[in-house]
């Protein structure tokens, strides 16, 4: 197995473990009701960031692949300004939070992080990406953990302020990494000005894809609040915690696969084998361990989530596999086709959610699995129909 992949897997697994710990701490730091509201705040921040800046870091990375790099700071600053505007408009149009200033600030800080992560994928070894992947949960555990140990359960306002502190530390680190990436790339390459038309065309297509991806990722929270209430959303955060472990790991594999494609290396075999092993392990272990783990870490009040957890894990694996198979389409610039796939999947999810809403969390899981299977089928068709021919197999693949 490739040594870069081994290092990336180790960092990601460590990051996943720390992320889960931060979820445990947050669940105890807040009441169930406030936990749901906190999740809604974070979801809104992520969605606005995606709407305003999604795809900008991706377009910078593809421009760097063509040695087009001069003037990248202007694009970066412009998208940060756009994120401020989008946050203000969101607050004005929708009544979803009382923390207006903190919301705008978190949108800007998160935008810095997401653009840096996207841009860092130009490095085939993903050095900066690995550092940021580990850094996020370390800071979350430190910020939330210290507060809980010293002060115990806190109101929602304190948790939002702690999240802002975390976002600020992340953004400062990202600015340092951006400076480092800038120096290294200029030293190794003869750079040219970024072609505005290519950049904007690439950004626009990727932005559409990411917006609909974010809509898919956020729609469940809004529907749960509207149809099932805040208490169910509080319970659902447990499912999110475990689902995010699987999703983050598979996203790491997708980024590893995509980074290889950027450098004309096909890593699909290694990625698919790891996903298969993870799926087999999940099906065997989750039904046996879900209830005791949930009770131990989240408390007995979340025990009713245990029987349905396996369905959310299966959905995460199916959805992750479809995303891995979509990386070819990203590189080929066929985001519009992926955009069409997202529209179909969203329609399937909304329809199934409404039909199964009386089944509470089980209904949510059924809707998710139906939508993920739809995306997977379309992704397989796209993968076979639009192959990338100018790549070579990874020599050290499994």
What is the model's pLDDT at position 366?
Answer: 96
DSSP SS3 for 266: strand
Q: What is the pLDDT of residue 398?
A: 41
Structure tokens at 285: 């272990």
pLDDT interval class at 86 (50, 70, 90): very high
Global pTM value: 0.74
How many distinct structural domains can be found in the chain? 1
Q: Give the mean model confidence (pLDDT) for residues 68-82.
A: 89
CB-CB contact of 44 with 96 (8 Å): yes
Range scoring the smallest mean pLDDT among 151-165, 204-218, 275-289: 204-218
The mean predicted confidence, pLDDT, of the chain is 86
What tens digit of pLDDT does each residue of 125-165 get? 677 877 787 788 888 889 999 999 998 889 999 999 999 99
Is 176 within a domain?
yes
Q: Find the mean pLDDT for residues 330-354.
A: 87
Q: Alpha-carbon distance 141 to 147, whole Å?
A: 10
Domain that holds residue 29: 3-393
- Going by the DSSP 8-state scheme, the letter that residue 194 receives in this structure is -
pLDDT at 297 over 50: yes
Distance CA 301, CA 320 (A): 30
The pLDDT, as a whole number, for residue 216 is 74
398 within some domain:
no
Instruction: Give, in order, the Cα–Cα distances in Å from 339 to each of 143, 205, 258, 326, 375.
Output: 37, 9, 18, 11, 11
Give buried/exposed letters for 283-311 (b at 16+ CB in 10 A, else e): eeebeeebbebbeebbeeebeebbebbbb
Average pLDDT over residues 204-210: 86
- How far is Cα 261 from Cα 388, in angstroms, rounded to an integer? 9
Both structure tokens of 149:
């140990």
- Name, in order, each residue with C-beta under 8 angstroms of 89's C-beta and a sequence gap of 6 or more: none
Residue 236 lies in a domain: yes
CA–CA distances in Å: residue 200 to residues 87, 88, 311 = 21, 23, 39
Model pLDDT, residue 23 = 83
Residue 372 belongs to some domain of the structure: yes
Split at pLDDT 50, 70, 90, the class of 124 is: low
- 308 found inside a domain: yes
């Amino acid at each position: 197995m490739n040594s870069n992949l081994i290092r990336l897997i180790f960092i990601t697994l460590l990051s996943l473990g720390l992320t889960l710990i931060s979820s445990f701490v947050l669940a105890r730091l807040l009441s169930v009701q406030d936990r749901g509201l906190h999740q809604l705040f974070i979801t809104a921040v992520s969605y606005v960031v995606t709407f305003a800046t999604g795809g900008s870091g991706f377009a910078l990375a593809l421009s760097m692949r063509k040695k087009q790099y001069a003037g990248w700071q202007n694009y970066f600053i412009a998208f940060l300004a756009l994120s401020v505007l989008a946050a203000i408009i969101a607050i004005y149009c929708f009544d979803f939070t009382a923390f207006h200033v903190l919301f705008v600030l978190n949108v800007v800080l998160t935008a810095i992080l997401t653009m840096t992560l996207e841009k860092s994928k130009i490095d085939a070894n993903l050095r900066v990406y690995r550092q940021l992947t580990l850094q996020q949960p370390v800071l979350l555990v430190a910020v939330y953990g210290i507060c809980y140990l010293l002060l115990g359960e806190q109101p929602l306002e304190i948790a939002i302020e702690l999240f802002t502190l975390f976002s600020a530390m992340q953004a400062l680190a990202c600015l340092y990494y951006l400076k480092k990436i800038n120096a290294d790339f200029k030293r190794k390459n003869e750079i040219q000005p970024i072609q505005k038309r290519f950049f904007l065309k690439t950004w626009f297509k990727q932005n559409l894809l990411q917006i609909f991806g974010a809509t898919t990722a956020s729609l469940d929270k809004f529907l749960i609040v509207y149809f099932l209430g805040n208490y169910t959303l509080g319970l659902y955060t447990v499912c999110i915690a475990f689902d995010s472990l699987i999703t983050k790991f598979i996203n790491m594999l997708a980024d590893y696969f995509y980074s290889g494609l950027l450098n004309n290396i096909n890593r699909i075999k290694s990625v698919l084998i790891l996903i298969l092993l993870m799926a087999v392990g999940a099906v065997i272990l989750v039904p046996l361990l879900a209830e005791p783990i949930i009770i131990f870490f989240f408390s007995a009040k979340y025990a009713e989530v245990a029987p349905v957890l396996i369905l959310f894990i299966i959905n995460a694996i199916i959805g992750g596999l479809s995303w891995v198979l979509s990386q070819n389409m990203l590189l080929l610039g066929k985001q519009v086709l992926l955009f069409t796939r997202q529209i179909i999947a969203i329609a399937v999810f909304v329809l199934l959610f409404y039909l199964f809403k009386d089944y509470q969390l089980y209904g949510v899981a059924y809707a998710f699995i139906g939508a993920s299977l739809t995306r997977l089928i379309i992704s397989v068709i796209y993968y076979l129909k639009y192959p990338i021919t100018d790549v070579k197999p990874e020599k050290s693949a499994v």
